[in-house]
Structure 1
Amino acid sequence: MIQFKIGLCQLSVTPEKAINVDNARRSIQFASKRGAALVVLPEMWNCPYSTDYFERFAEKFDEKDSTASSLKMLSEVACEERITIVGGSIPEWSSGGKLYNTCFVFGPNGDLLAKHRKMHLFDINAPGDISFNESDTFSAGSSPTIVDTHVGRIGIGICHDIRFPELAMLYRARGAHLICYPGAFNMSTGEALWELEQRARALDNQLFVATCSPSRDSNGSYQIWGHSTLVNPLGEIIATSEHDQTIVIAEVDYSAIQSTRESIPILKQRRNDVYQLIDHHTI
């Protein structure tokens, strides 16, 4: 089974796109020099998590688009370092003029392997705490994303996608070894749910889960929880961070997936004869 090092780059984000791109490049290079074969960036690493910036910092994946500095950097450094990069997420303009929250994955030759448009948009209204409607700005993606890489099969989700166990179950069914969730949970949902949901998705599906967040000192009115983390198939935290800018380097050993599934064979114990009778519209 595959064994490799993963790098989670928890980045401080500024209102200056060029600074963010340079910071991400240096962080990826540092992780690679520390032996990381797979590097993950945070959600919205090229701009503050704020509606004031999304449209202005958005890019389109187009080799002729000279403004796509974030994507060009990811492609270049993936090729230079011969690594796979799960490129967090950035605002993406579609060819139809829609704005998406999108993760781009680049392989060791610099080619785009996949892109995942955030499927579940974060709309919340908690009186006295936070009110935010991502759907006011972004369109929702409609396709789950599985990508085959030189470090195994990876499922991709972005932030609020982690709240939906059905997506993680789909990724397990399609053979994912690891699910990467770039995210930017806020202070209240972060403290209550960030670790819990990562461990639940990993435990229920007996695979690895990696998350990567911006650091808390990032600019913008949206205060971010941080705590980028790697969880194993038993739901145990292998490595994590606090809330400052940092790079987490950790070991991933896929043999843990097989041993966990052999010792606790929950897939064989599922009662599909019962579950298929459930009308999801009534629960």
Structure 2
Amino acid sequence: MSESMRKLRVGCIQITVSANKAENVARAVEKIREAKKRGAELVVLPECFNSFISNDYYGKYAEPIPGETTNILSKLAKELEIFIIGGTIPENDGDKLFNTATVWGKSGELMGKFRKMHLFDIDIPNEMTFRESDSLSPGNELTIINIKDFKIGLGICYDVRFEELAKLYRKQGCNLLVYPSAFGMKTGPLHWELVGRSRANDNQLYTVLTSQGRDLNGPYVAYGHSYVADPWGKMLFMAGTDDELFIVDLDLDVVDKVRSNIPIFIQRRADIYDTVQKN
């Protein structure tokens, strides 16, 4: 087994968005080009990187897949010979809207897509109310992508709170989970770091959480602080709140070491409990 196949250099991109879709996409393209120059093999964009996060905007910004924004990602992946997890965009498919992540291969091919499974419906009285289900439909399928020896499971933002999804990915052999995200200012300070590190520790794998940057003047204020956690649950890097690109090197030897040292998955009591995929 080639040692180079067990290492992956990931470029994590945090950008703020505006009402101008073309400017948002251009900003993402600029960061992807910079990531390539810094040696990234895979780049990850944040949730709704081309759109405001708002029920008022999802329908206005929605595109089919393939479509305007994803065609740009496809061509860029081919030009730069780089893998791209294209954050998410609002996707229209028939009469439904989805919050969808796409993955593009080095030849520009669509390797897979994931539609947000758990919609962000919360009500914290006098502080925050948001109901994605007022405009979006949930996805129903897991998505696993293979890049080198990395088996990558996808989730989107609120999905990271549901450890069952992460557990299903681990049971199917994943060693890296990627969550394009945009936690808000209420839940971000309390839970943002906690949930991603917990999923890394629970399943003894890497987690990558990329956020929009923080814009206090937008309709939805993201917390920022994109980060990567390792299989020990240790933070490898955390961004600030502004636009930022950071590079992290992942190594599957770390995954193997943690799983050997603390072999929780062979110690689980499947005779008493289990996590099962139903569809």
CA contact (8 A) 1:48 1:218 kept: no
Q: CA deviation at 1:12?
A: 1.3
Q: 1:16, 1:211 → 2: CA distance?
A: 24
Q: 1:175, 1:75 → 2: CA distance?
A: 27
Q: Deviations over 1:19-75 (max 9, x none)?
A: 01111101111011101101000000001111222111111124xxxxx32101110
Matches within 5 A, 1:189-204: 189-204=187-202
Matched residue, 2:63: 59
Q: 2:31, 2:149 → 1: CA distance?
A: 20
Among candidates 4, 7, 14, match of residue 3 of structure 1 = 7
Matches within 5 A, 1:41-190: 41-62=45-66, 68-94=67-93, 96-150=94-148, 152-190=150-188
CA contact (8 A) 1:105 1:113 kept: yes
Q: 1:166, 1:263 → 2: CA distance?
A: 23
Q: 1:224, 1:21 → 2: CA distance?
A: 18
Among candidates 209, 220, 241, match of residue 218 of structure 2 = 220
Among candidates 14, 19, 34, match of residue 15 of structure 1 = 19
CA RMSD of aligned residues (A): 1.3
Matched residue, 1:65: none
- Scaled by the length of structure 1, what TM-score is found? 0.93
Among candidates 21, 28, 43, match of residue 39 of structure 1 = 43
Matches within 5 A, 1:249-260: 249-260=247-258
Q: CA deviation at 1:221?
A: 1.8
Helix, strand or coil at the partner of 1:200: helix
Give the residue type in structure 2 aligned to 1:232: D
Q: CA deviation at 1:144?
A: 1.0
Assess, with a 3 A threshold, how the Cα gap between structure 1 residues 59 and 231 changes in structure 2: closer, same or farther.
same
Matched residue, 1:210: 208
Q: CA deviation at 1:121?
A: 0.1
Structure 1: give runs of 5+ residues left out of the alignment: 63-67, 279-283
CA contact (8 A) 1:50 1:220 kept: no
Give the residue type in structure 2 aligned to 1:74: L
Q: How many residues align?
A: 271
CA contact (8 A) 1:7 1:38 kept: yes
Structure 2: give runs of 5+ residues left out of the alignment: none
CA contact (8 A) 1:145 1:156 kept: yes
Q: 2:107, 2:60 → 1: CA distance?
A: 29
Q: 2:217, 2:9 → 1: CA distance?
A: 30
Assess, with a 3 A threshold, how the Cα gap between structure 1 residues 218 and 85 changes in structure 2: closer, same or farther.
farther
Matches within 5 A, 1:256-267: 256-267=254-265
Helix, strand or coil at the partner of 2:41: strand
Q: CA deviation at 1:242?
A: 1.0
Q: 2:35, 2:149 → 1: CA distance?
A: 16
Give the residue type in structure 2 aligned to 1:31: A
CA contact (8 A) 1:21 1:69 kept: no
Q: CA deviation at 1:81?
A: 1.1
Assess, with a 3 A threshold, how the Cα gap between structure 1 residues 103 and 21 changes in structure 2: closer, same or farther.
same
Matched residue, 2:237: 239
Give the residue type in structure 2 aligned to 1:221: P
- Scaled by the length of structure 2, what TM-score is found? 0.94
Q: 2:137, 2:74 → 1: CA distance?
A: 25
Q: 1:155, 1:272 → 2: CA distance?
A: 22
Q: Deviations over 1:160-204 (max 9, x none)?
A: 000100100011111111100000100111111010000100001
Q: CA deviation at 1:150?
A: 3.3
Assess, with a 3 A threshold, how the Cα gap between structure 1 residues 218 and 93 changes in structure 2: closer, same or farther.
farther
